[in-house]
Each structure stands twice: as C-alpha cells, then as structure tokens.
Amino acid sequence: MAHATDGGGSIRIPASNCGLFGVKPTRGRNPAGPDVGEGWSGMSTGHVVSRSVRDSARMMDCTHGAAPGDPYAAPAPARPFAEEVGADPGQLRIALMTDGFDGRPLDGECIEGTKNTAKLCEDLGHKVEPAQPKLDVGALDRASRTIIAGNVWNAVRLRCQALGREPSGQDVEAVTWALAQEGAAASAGDYAESVMIMHQQGRQLAAFFQDYDLILSSTLRHPPLPLGAIDMQDNDLDHYWRQLFVDEIAITPFYNNTGCPAMSVPLHMSSDGLPVGIHFGASFGDEATLFRLAAQLEAAAPWFDRVPD
C-alpha cells in the first residue's frame, strides 16, 4: 500500500499502469490538513493505491471524516467501508463508455478491456448499457487549467517566500513554471468563474447518476505510455496540456472536477502484457457501491498474483 493524491487522476493512473487498485475518494472524504482545508478547490483528494480492495477500504475507515477546522465534509458512510467488501451490491445499473468524455474513442485495447469487464458485470447479474453523461468538456478543461495554474503559482510563490527569494524558472520544471506564470496572470474573477463551472457540471453529472449507479470505462485512453512520452520540461505548455489532458487522461479528471468518487480496477492486460486499468465512477458520496463491486470483481477475476509478462 502507498499514499497518493489525486487532482486529475494521480491515484487511478498509477494504479492503472502498475496493475494496482486505486480509489479517488469523494471531495471532502479525507481531510487535507493540517495546513489547508482542500486541494485545488476540492479537485485533489488523498488516499492510497493498494494490491487489494480490502486494504483500500480499511485505510479509508482509518482516515475519513472532517478534521477540526475543515471547510466541509463528505456525507458520512452508513457503516464502515470494510463492511462493504464482500457485501452484496445488488443489481447495479452501469453505463458503458467506450469514448472519452470528449466523444473521441478510446484505444482499441482499452475498449477491449472495457467490453470484457462489461460482460463480466453482466455475468455477475448487473445491467450494463451504453450511455454517457453530457458534460461541457471544453469549459471544464479551461476551468481546471485556471484552478491548477492558480494553485501552482501560490505554491511556488509561498515556497520562494519562505526561502527569502523571488520565484524563478530555475527553481522548477518548465511546465510547472509556465503554469505558475499563467496562474499569476489570471484574475480573481477567472478563478471564481472556474469554480462555478465545476460546480455547475457537477450537477449535470449528479442528474446522470439518478438513472445509473456507475459509469464504466477504461481508466486511460491508451495502455501505458513509454517513460518520458509526456515531458515536464516541455517549453510549450499548450502542447503538454493537450498531450496529457486531451490525448491521454480522457476520463479521470472529470470525477475530480465534479467531486465524485471513482476507482481503477486491474482487470485487463494489453497484448504487450502491460496492465490496463478499468474505471468505475459513482455518485457523490457513494464509495460504498465502488467497494462492493470491486470486491465482487476481485473474487471473480483475481489480480493479486498477476505480474506483467
């Protein structure tokens, strides 16, 4: 088990690429303190990656709940998360996505893993059908970039202030510095509008979850990329952003934007013998359903002893 935080997928993406199980909790489920009340206006939450569903659930039992002074908290669970592991999930209504939220198709190997998982879910008694929520992907992308840039600038500025010197591009990687400069140039109004957009789109996703319990897709658009394929020393921020947020992470950030919980489950291997995570998203506050289904999938298709070829 290892600690991780997730502001756009950084629990679920390493889990997907390393054959591990990873849950991004609901916004406000785990405290972010002691120094801050939230990360990236609620987009970033902390938890773990683990080899088993059981360990992830037990760790969430240890960490969830508001700390003194937290600005808000996720809805309290009905019972310990560990008790959801092995509990009957009932027949779940699962929406199947083989495109990213932007409407562009996922890689063929990712689609294969997603469809195989859909068949497994049907064999387990769940109802699966193609469906996709309608989100304003462009607006969410712009809002995310503004919020991330503002927080990067604040982190760089405060660190350099503590060191007693002016911020400089020599202190950080090229992408970090470009984001910091973009954040410094944004207005308070830009930031406030970005938070408002996230909350509006969260309501859109909440409406979709009135008809479905879960959304099924692959975690990433492609199987694992070679090391260095996305370069933090890229001097073109727009190019870096497209590579990462458009071409590769076509699923995960939207659960950060809306605050909903989601998980990557190690259920598929590519033709090259590399892990391909399968992604499930749930409604706000409903980690319980994720843990119930994950445990059911783990029993039906065990992964604990699987290693890449």
pLDDT tens-digit readout, 33-54: 888 999 999 999 999 999 999 9
Q: Which pLDDT band, with edges at 50, 70 and 90, does 309 fall under?
A: low
Query: If we measure between CA atoms, which residue out of 101, 81, 104 comes closest to residue 8?
Result: 101
- Across residues 137-152, what is the average pLDDT? 97
% residues pLDDT > 70 (the chain): 99
Each residue's pLDDT tens digit, 215-240: 999 999 999 999 999 999 999 999 99
Residue 83 has pLDDT above 80, yes or no: yes
Look at residue 308 and tell me whether its pLDDT is greater than 80: no
Average pLDDT over every residue of 201-223: 98
Scan for tokens 């019972």, then name that residue. Answer: 79
Largest CA distance in the chain: 62
Q: Residue 307 has what pLDDT?
A: 78
Beta strand extents in the chain (DSSP E only): 2-6, 21-24, 45-50, 93-96, 127-130, 214-218, 262-269, 275-282
* Residue 80 three-state SS: coil
Any idea which residue has 């909790």 for tokens? 25
Indicate the helix (H) or strand (E) that contains 60. helix 53-63
Q: What is the pTM of this model?
A: 0.96
Per-residue pLDDT band for 59 (boundaries 50, 70, 90) equals very high
The residue with tokens 């604990």 is: 304
pLDDT recorded at residue 33: 83
From the number of C-beta atoms within 10 Å of its C-beta (0-12, 13-18, 19+), residue 297 rates as buried
The owner of tokens 């659960």 is 255
Name, in order, each residue with C-beta under 8 angstroms of 205's C-beta and a sequence gap of 6 or more.
Answer: 133, 135, 254, 258, 260
Separation between Cα atoms, residue 271 and residue 92, nearest integer Å: 30
Does pLDDT of 289 surpass 70? yes
- Range 140-156 average pLDDT: 97
Region 285-300 average pLDDT = 99
173-191 pLDDT tens trace:
999 999 999 999 999 999 9
User: How far, rounded to the nearest angstrom, does the alpha carbon of residue 62 sit from its chain's CA centroid?
Assistant: 21
Rounded mean pLDDT of 261-271?
Answer: 98
Mean pLDDT of 204-208: 97
Task: Read off the amino acid at residue 285.
Answer: G
Using pLDDT thresholds of 50, 70 and 90, give the confidence band for residue 196.
very high
Positions of E strands within 63-142: 93-96, 127-130
Domains, the chain, ordered by start? 2-134+215-300 (3.90.1300.10)
